[in-house]
Amino acid sequence: MHHSERPPIDFDSLPQGSLIHLSGIGGSAMSGLALVLRQRGFAVQGTDPNVDTVRPRLEAQGIAVFSEQDGRHLCDVVGLVIATAAMSDDHPELRAAADRGLAILRYAQALGLLTAQRDTVAVAGTHGKTTTASMAIWILRSAGQDPGFVIGGTVRGLEQSARLGEDRGFVAEACEYQRSFLELLPKRAIITNIEADHLDVYSDVNEIQEAFVHFARRLGPKGLLIYCADCERASQVAAATDCRTVSYGFGPSAELRAEELEFESTSTAFSAVWHGENLGRFTVRQLGRHNVANALAASLSSEDMGVPLGEALSHLASFPGAHRRFELLGQARGIAVVDDYAHHPTELKALLEAARQRFEGRRIVCAFQPHQSSRTRLLLADFASVLRCADLALLIDIYTARDSEAETKAVSTEALQRAIVDAGGQAHTVGSLEAAHEGIAAHLSRGDAVLCVGAGPMDTVAAALLEYLAR
């Protein structure tokens, strides 16, 4: 996909009453986009083999969803097809659409069209995108604004992952996978950090950094780049752009700095210093340093959208968090069950640190489902060195997404288990997702805190485990 070309169609030029068809509507971003297009007055339908989780929410808004993806649902009134990034060009449904001469956009192109018409902040970075975007939405709404948004998770308290919004403001997550964020034309952007990930698409972290430079340059001279000063790569990206920049972090070079962090079991307190001026003490209900950094980033973007910094930071005291981000589902038989989306070594490390903060003195069991064979193989040593820090790691069969057959054969949970043990940790494999809750329960005892972790359907395991323990 060439990012310099304008997409072949614009939403405003679609004929009245034409139907927009979303191929791969089951994912959080695609289902969110479907809701926003529906709120804009378009007729919307979609297909996805895994559609059951989003079906009720979409059908409630008059969006028809189908599980068959063979082209049979591309009826005569379909005027535009939007496809998820994960779908290959030779997928039967996309081939059928191309044969019929239908305009096809990728998700990122469609999001680019939406965001170009709004006063958008795009949240980019290897980690922290969903939480930072959710915080930005929470601040704007608490300040009386009604921004539009499309994010990769559900904001607790709003129970939504997408909304058209009445105001010009718009908050979007900008993903570097397949360089899709180069389709966006935001007024401002956040870069939380830049690390090695998506190595099935990028050759190394330098190539990833280069993509972030291209992303930042799309802001133009009037745009604003908000970046973490503690991340050397993000700082280098900022230096390579001609837009306005503002930095945040914990180090002395950050323009907005958090100091004197205090970790409680259910919150984190800090002082905020802006260009040397102390703005006061603030609290976030999220655990860990990384969430304080996310709070600073979200507050800076909100300030650029009309909310004073101190006010922005104080609104976050009531922010309940994003779903699947250190979400304590409940306790049963003296065992706490937490659901989390972490799927990269850095995210796992932050999660385990937060768990030690929240469950001080308790045994931490990490039930982890690796996401993608390629990521597991390429980052195996990093995963092992982080997972050995749990008191016990329980490994579920790899969730293979976008993996080739050769890639799937090249690595296994057994290989990860051996690597954790070699690194001095405790680890067992518990087999497939379906029976995982029973396998996990067999290793638990009263007083444990168990983290059910992964970017695949691990939330189903967490819920099943809690129910199983309660029985």
Q: Please report whether residue 390 resides in a domain.
A: yes
The model's pLDDT over 68-90, given as tens digits with 9 standing for 90+, comes to 999 999 988 899 999 998 898 99
Q: Is residue 174 domain-shared with residue 268, that is, in the same domain?
A: yes
**How many Cβ atoms are within 10 Å of 248's Cβ, its own excluded?**
27
Query: Does residue 259 surpass a pLDDT of 60?
Result: yes
Find the range with the poorest average confidence among 138-152, 193-207, 274-288, 340-354.
Answer: 193-207
**Model pLDDT for residues 410-462, shown as the tens digit of each residue:** 899 999 999 999 999 999 999 998 889 999 999 999 999 999 999 888 999 99
In a domain, residue 342? The reply is yes
Cα-Cα-Cα-Cα torsion 185, 191, 193, 196, nearest 10 degrees, comes to 10
pLDDT of residue 387: 96
- If you average pLDDT over residues 356-367, what whole number do you get? 94
The residue among 361 and 14 whose pLDDT is bigger is 361
Residues 182 and 42 reside in one and the same domain: no
- 285-307: average pLDDT: 95
Residue 303 near residue 312, CB atoms below 8 Å: yes
Mean pLDDT score of the chain, rounded to an integer?
91
Mean pLDDT, residues 310-324 taken together: 90
**pLDDT tens digits for range 225-237:** 999 999 999 999 9
Place of tokens 């390579």: 240
Residue 113 lies in a domain: no
Look at the chain and report how many structural domains it folds into. Answer: 3
Sequence-distant (6+) residues with CB within 8 A of 358 are: 265, 266, 287, 326, 328, 449
For residue 32, tell me if it sits in a domain.
yes
Q: Are residues 146 and 283 in the same domain?
A: yes
Contact 137, 316 (CB under 8 A): no
Mean pLDDT for 143-154 is 90
| pLDDT for the residue 4 | 41
Q: Are residues 369 and 240 in the same domain?
A: no
Please tell me whether residues 27 and 101 are part of one structural domain: yes
Same domain as 343, residue 285: no
Select from 318, 353, 378 the last residue of a domain.
318
The verdict on residue 62 lying in a domain is yes
Task: Say if 8 falls within a structural domain.
Answer: no
For 98, residues 6+ apart whose C-beta sits below 8 A from its C-beta are 104
- Tell me: pLDDT of 99 over 90: yes
Task: Let me know if residue 9 belongs to a domain.
Answer: no
Whether the pLDDT of residue 2 is over 60: the answer is no
pLDDT for 465 equals 96
Evaluate if residue 205 carries a pLDDT over 50. Answer: yes
Q: At 63, is the pLDDT very low, low, confident or very high (cuts 50, 70, 90)?
A: very high
Q: Following DSSP, what letter does each residue of 388-445 receive, concatenated?
A: TTSSEEEEEPPB-SS--HHHHHT--HHHHHHHHHHTT--EEEEE-STTHHHHHHTT--
* CATH, residue 446: 3.90.190.20
Residue 353: domain span = 327-470
Q: Distance between CA atoms of 275 and 253, rounded to whole angstroms?
A: 10
Q: How far apart are CA 172 and CA 87, in angstroms?
A: 21
Residue 393, sorted as left (phi over 0), alpha (psi -120 to 50) or beta, turns out to be beta
Same domain, 277 and 309: yes
276: CATH: 3.40.1190.10
Q: Contact at 8 Å (CB) between 85 and 106?
A: yes
Q: What is the pLDDT of residue 236?
A: 97
Rounded to whole angstroms, the Cα distance separating 421 from 425 reads: 5
CA pair distance 408, 242, nearest whole angstrom: 43
Q: 75 vs 314, which has greater pLDDT?
A: 314
Lowest-confidence range among 111-115, 293-297, 364-368? 111-115
Asked whether the predicted pLDDT for residue 1 surpasses 50, the reply is no
Pick from 27, 25, 237: nearest CA to 126: 237
Q: Are residues 74 and 167 in the same domain?
A: no
Geometric angle at alpha carbon 346, from 106 and 161, rounded to 5°: 40
Same domain, 134 and 210: yes
Based on the domain organization, do 231 and 123 belong to the same domain? Answer: yes
Question: Among the three residues 318, 337, 366, which one is the final residue of a domain in this structure?
Answer: 318
User: What secondary structure, in 3-state letters, does 297-340 show?
Assistant: HHHHHHHHCCCCHHHHHHHHHHCCCECCCCEEEEEECCEEEEEE
- Which region among 19-28, 37-46, 126-135, 151-160 has the lowest average model confidence (pLDDT)? 151-160
The CATH number linked to 86 is 3.40.50.720
Among 64, 80, 105, the domain boundary falls at: 105
User: Do 333 and 268 share a structural domain?
Assistant: no
Q: Is residue 87 in some structural domain?
A: yes
Say whether both 219 and 146 belong to one domain: yes
